[in-house]
Amino acid sequence: QVQLVESGGGLVQAGDSLRLSCVGSGRTFSDYFIGWFRQAPGKEREFVSGISYYGGTTYYTNSVKGRFTSSRDNAKNTVYLQVNSLKPEDTAVYYCAARSRGTSELIQNYNYWGQGTQVTVSS
C-alpha cells in the first residue's frame, strides 16, 4: 500500500491562491495515477484533477479549468495542486488519492486516500 498526506490548505480570501501538496510513502510513487477530489458540506465528493504517472497528462473538471494546475515530482514523492483565483464555491476538504496502472477513472478504483486538507475561501 501507499500512504498519502495532504497539506497546504487554509483560510483565504476570494481571488487568493494556494499550493496543495500530496506526499506519498510506502511504494514507488510513479506506479500511481494521482487524483484530487474535494467534498463540501452537504455535497458529494467530486473529481477535481488528475495527473498521470510521470506528470505528462493532466485532467480537470470544468469548474476549475484555467484556474487549477496539477504537477508532480516523483523524486520527492509529491504531487502538487496549484489553485488560483479561488472562489467561495471552491471551499471544501481536498483529498488526494491513488490508483494503480490498468484501472479506470471510476472513483472506486482509487484505493488509497489521504486525510484531506481544508480549503476555506471567504467572500
- Judged by DSSP in three states, 22 sits in strand
Position 116, amino acid: G
pLDDT in tens, 87-112: 999 999 999 999 998 899 899 999 99
Q: What is the pLDDT of residue 1?
A: 84
Q: Kindly tell me if the per-residue pLDDT of 85 is higher than 90.
A: yes
How is residue 76 written as a grid cell?
520527492
Position 78, amino acid: T
Nearest partner of 31 among 3, 5, 4, 52, judged by Cα: 52
Label residue 7 by pLDDT band (50, 70, 90).
very high
Label residue 121 by pLDDT band (50, 70, 90).
very high
Nearest partner of 48 among 5, 92, 13, 6, judged by Cα: 92
pLDDT in tens, 10-57: 999 999 999 999 999 987 899 999 999 999 999 999 999 999 999 999
The one-character DSSP state at 101 is T
Q: What is the pLDDT of residue 105?
A: 86
